[in-house]
């Protein structure tokens, strides 16, 4: 028996596969082509589900250490308790090279509505225009900002998590390492959803290749934009690629999930194992029959409902 798509997920993805049949993917290094193709797909997926009416969105801005201004978007559930409670800092996906907070308004609002936990989304700057360390430094600055404004926003600073999917999951993991190494703000939990952790994931796996919604060419493009010539070399820091962390001890408790048909499967499995071996509490889920970011399109599938229930549970438990 060989691995294959979950039947419900396959049915949901079939129209996209048909629309893309015969098209030529952008070559390695074509950031603009990937932005044009994938940002439209993300926007379509985000708008495919209803946006909750009980979530309020407020924009703030942060002045970075290099004098730039980045957007911080704060999502809160109307009628939530006024006592200081938990919150999460969110970093969006996009392979380090694409996306912005507005593309994810619907999905973040749904997390907040279902869990009651407010979320701060950080519009970190993207590679290649802003290579490492700018994206992770922007993300870290967002975490610091929320800690500094916790009292005004009704947040308990001891109950702040970092949350991200794909590249954003990698950034959440990197921020966790950075906060530990700098003895910076406390992080209650790192919630890593199919995270992009390892710049050395560049060799295609023939078992996964037919299902790779984010391909090895895409991965080389994203990591190359972030790291330049350093990609897959000996000197990549863990603050850029968390899989490079020498010692995971002392990192925050982790929730990690990934699909069996995701090219990040092995690096995520390895990271979860290394965290556990270092004494870090880990909850890990490997979901059979699903590729990268499947739940945005196949949101009515049983497996998507399970993963969303788990994410809401973790956010609610902060």
pLDDT digits (tens, 9 = 90+) for 189-222: 999 999 999 999 999 999 999 999 999 999 999 9
Catalytic residue among 166, 198, 217, 268: 166
Residue 45 belongs to some domain of the structure = yes
How many domains would you assign to the chain?
A: 1
Sequential DSSP letters for the chain: ------HHHHHHHHHHHHHHTTPPPPPTT-HHHHHHHHHHHHHHHHHTSPPPTTEEEEEEEEE-TTS-EEEEEEEEETT--SS-EEEEEEE--STTTS--GGGGHHHHHHHHHHH---EEEE----TTTS-TTHHHHHHHHHHHHHHHTHHHHTEEEEEEEEEEETHHHHHHHHHHHHHHHHT-S--SEEEEES----TT--SPPTTTGGG-SS-HHHHHHHHHHHHGGGTTSTT--TTT-GGG-S--TTPPPEEEEEETTSTTHHHHHHHHHHHHHTT--EEEEEETT--TTGGGTSTTSHHHHHHHHHHHHHHHT-
Catalytic residue among 109, 217, 292, 301: 292
Distance CA 112, CA 135 (A): 24
pLDDT at 304: 98
Q: With pLDDT > 90 as the criterion, what percentage of the chain qualifies?
A: 93
pLDDT at 24: 87
Which residues partner with 189 through β-bridges?
Answer: 161
Distance CA 75, CA 122 (A): 11
Catalytic residue among 121, 262, 287, 301: 262
Residue 3 belongs to some domain of the structure = no
Domain range enclosing 34: 29-78+85-316
Distance CA 164, CA 124 (A): 12
Are the C-beta atoms of 90 and 108 separated by less than 8 Å? yes
pLDDT digits (tens, 9 = 90+) for 62-89: 999 899 999 999 999 998 777 899 999 9
Active site residue 262: yes
Residue 22 belongs to some domain of the structure = no
pLDDT at 81: 79
Are the C-beta atoms of 12 and 297 separated by less than 8 Å? yes
- Please check the confidence at residue 2 and state whether its pLDDT lies above 90: no
Residue 13 belongs to some domain of the structure = no
Which tokens sit at 52? 């909750």
Among the ranges given (14-28, 143-157, 165-179, 278-292), the one the predictor scored with the smallest mean pLDDT: 14-28
Report the CATH number at residue 134: 3.40.50.1820
Residue 20 belongs to some domain of the structure = no
Q: What is the mean pLDDT of residues 218-236?
A: 98
Residue 11 belongs to some domain of the structure = no
| pTM of the predicted structure, to 2 decimals | 0.97
Average model confidence (pLDDT) across the chain: 96
- Please check the confidence at residue 167 and state whether its pLDDT lies above 80: yes
Which tokens sit at 293? 């970011």
Confidence tier at 163 by pLDDT (50, 70, 90) = very high
Q: What is the mean pLDDT of residues 257-264?
A: 98
- Please check the confidence at residue 1 and state whether its pLDDT lies above 70: no
Q: With pLDDT > 70 as the criterion, what percentage of the chain qualifies?
A: 100
Confidence tier at 14 by pLDDT (50, 70, 90) = very high
Phi first, then psi, for residue 85 (nearest 5°) are -140, -170
- Please check the confidence at residue 20 and state whether its pLDDT lies above 80: no
Residue 19 belongs to some domain of the structure = no
Residue 292 belongs to some domain of the structure = yes
pLDDT digits (tens, 9 = 90+) for 293-304: 999 999 999 999
pLDDT at 18: 84
pLDDT at 23: 81
């Amino acid at each position: 028996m060989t691995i294959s798509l979950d039947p419900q997920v396959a049915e949901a993805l079939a129209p996209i596969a048909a629309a893309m049949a015969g098209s030529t993917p952008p070559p390695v290094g074509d950031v603009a082509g990937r932005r044009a193709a994938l940002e439209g797909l993300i926007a379509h997926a985000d708008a495919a589900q209803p946006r909750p009416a009980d979530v309020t969105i407020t924009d703030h801005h942060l002045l970075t250490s290099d004098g730039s201004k980045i957007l911080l978007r704060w999502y809160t559930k109307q009628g939530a308790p006024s006592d200081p409670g938990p919150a999460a800092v969110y970093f969006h996906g996009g392979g380090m090279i694409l996306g912005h907070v507005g593309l994810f308004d619907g999905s973040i609002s749904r997390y907040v509505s279902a869990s009651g936990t407010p979320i701060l989304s950080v519009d970190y700057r993207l590679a290649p225009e802003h290579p490492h360390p700018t994206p992770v430094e922007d993300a870290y600055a967002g975490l610091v900002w929320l800690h500094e404004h916790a009292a005004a926003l009704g947040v308990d600073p001891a109950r702040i998590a970092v949350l991200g999917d794909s590249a954003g999951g990698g950034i959440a993991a990197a921020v966790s390492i950075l906060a530990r190494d700098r003895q910076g703000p406390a992080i209650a939990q790192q919630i890593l959803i199919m995270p992009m952790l390892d710049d050395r994931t560049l060799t295609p796996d023939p078992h996964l290749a037919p299902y790779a919604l984010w391909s090895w060419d895409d991965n080389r493009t994203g990591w190359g934009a972030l790291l330049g010539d350093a990609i897959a070399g000996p000197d990549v820091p863990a603050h850029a690629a968390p899989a490079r962390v020498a010692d995971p001890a002392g990192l925050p408790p982790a929730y990690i999930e990934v699909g069996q048909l995701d090219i990040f499967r092995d690096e995520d499995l390895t990271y979860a194992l290394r965290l556990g071996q270092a004494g870090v509490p880990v909850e890990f889920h490997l979901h059979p029959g699903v590729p990268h970011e499947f739940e945005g399109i196949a949101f009515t599938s049983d497996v998507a409902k399970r993963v969303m229930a788990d994410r809401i549970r973790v956010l609610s438990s902060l």
